Amino acid sequence: MKITGEENRFGTGSFNSGRREEPMDTPIGRLTMIWKGGKPESLRLPPRIPEVYPVDEVAGRDWARIISLENFRPDLEPYGEFVKQVWLRAAAIPWGATESYGRLARRIGRPRAGRAVGTALGMNPWPLLIPCHRVIRADGSVGGFTAGPAWKSYLIALEKRTVGG
């Protein structure tokens, strides 16, 4: 499903072709939806990591519901087939779980593409909705993340706390 001006919760009416930012208050802080040409283009996490873990507010839920975007489906059409495969596999990693870049590469039938998986995840404009924070290095360290490794560690820890990990 693609969001149009009349379907989204961020406002209605016509959009110009410019860029605009729409703040969204969530249990983990104020996220920002970036719009361009009347379409949602990306989601940005807040600059600061929360000092607390809002376990009760996120337990047993998925990020789309937590940030009130449960009916939103990112448009993956502009991206190549490999990137889409990586993102869809990352989206299938369960809440509170992690998987290595190499294992994800093997799961999509590209066993030698661990680094390419990391590159594809680095292109993800929809952190949380496509939970690339759940993909880590084989040695257990967090690796890269659009909002920085500290955010990635926080999100992994928050999810693990809600499932008793």
Q: Which residues are catalytic?
A: 132
> Between vectors from CA 149 to CA 159 and to CA 61, what angle results, nearest 5°?
20
The neighbouring-strand residues paired with 135 are 99
- For residue 31, the surrounding DSSP H or E stretch is strand 29-36
Torsion sign (Cα): 86, 91, 93, 99: positive
> Between vectors from CA 82 to CA 42 and to CA 102, what angle results, nearest 5°?
100
